[in-house]
Structure 1
């Protein structure tokens, strides 16, 4: 059975009523998982180089501009409470859809453990953050790990660190939105060297490309599809333009039920860009992806007892409850 993850991101605007409607709509449309993000504005880290960004003498952006104050002000109203997270797990279980969350910092793992999550997601920018990944593997039965901005050696190292623990590797392209020609769906073949469960996290522009990339990924044998999901008009949220609604999700769910040979034939028939989306199994990250890796890797972090920043990848510091902590 294909895993279909409806990623709510911040499309709920921090409102429990909206979350309730989204859970019901995702379940009715055929999603197997409803996903929110364990990310808090107070975990945002101010890093000086992103306050103004850097553009070189040729006009090429070398560091993106994303000022801390504006980002904090945008995120803070959408923060969920711990009661909201507990309610979300219970509501998903009541409706009959599996609850899932992306945990963005090591310090929040302990808060989530007691709430009943069985599976969790690791964001693309933390696909090589071994202290975070080890901590998650200690507490949760299955990890979905996006690999979009990971180097090949980082993917291999993460797979080795997880050993026999149950995990899925998801291919994604960290360009928002992702052009179809940059989808590189053949990457899933390379990821399958490390785990039998692979998939695609789709960031394409819905108004222009619909669900073509997700359909093509299913035709290529994806076991998991993650897609941003909304019940609002796309212009109402930051992630709205790359988010599908119940109608598109229902189409994805129906397509996923077809035999693999039928999916492949149908995708080739319906999608003129199918071949262009296949791309390469391995390739260097593009300039746009490197810019996003630079910003998003370390966007959120934990703090130790003295208030010092603890990065998700820092092997020299253990937080209470982590493997190897005193």
Structure 2
């Protein structure tokens, strides 16, 4: 008998605007793979320009999963992502292909590795009180309150992410326990795959900042404001829901409400995107056993394929060991 190795899966991670999308398509073409989006904004229909969603001609004939699956009015949880991603990974592997998970929502990658913590259900009364506190006291005060009860969560959650700050405060108000304790108590639920982890990012963050600024200005030229205006005019969406709180969208929403002029909105959106990239870098520094590559480096595809081939060869050798009976 032979030990049967788990099938491979590729995790392609990196900060926003680092070149993950184009590289993932090239990898899928070279490796007979299919792409699973690991992005909390790409799931929404009608949000194309501001999310840098790959259009059909950019997908190179490769199936892309978990894109355009929800209306912006709907919510999408990490639990839903994990369940759907695992089902798709299983289907791709059974068909003899390699699942390639690509994106920048690091929490989604984490739940694939570590499973989910079971958190208390939302309490509308507590949430309403927190919304009131946010409006009256401001996001900095709420973040300071979180730092007092759960320093680790406060270090992990940026003050400019009041939705997650409020959720952490809500969990504490309901349970009397800090949010971090739920994640610490969660038992790891490793997935039955051999994970090949790849990270792509510019060597210098100043380079990434330049790319982010150019990309957002290009989005404006492509009609981003009109895209957000279409959502705004629906009348059933607000800037309190996850889809509209996505980076870029919430700033454009404020512009449409008359809170900013176009120049101020552009500056705020670029700054918010840089802050997102900074948080993604923080997550990526915790990644272990990953191979790192630089955005735009010479022969990038060839070097990434060589890394993958080396790891796949190692997996094959591991599967040829004979069991002793």
Is TM-score (shorter-chain normalized) higher than 0.5?
no
Higher relative contact order (CA 8 A, sep 6+): 2
Q: Counting strand residues as a fraction of each chain, which structure ranks higher?
A: 1
TM-score of the pair, normalised by structure 1: 0.29
Structure with the bigger percentage of helix: 2
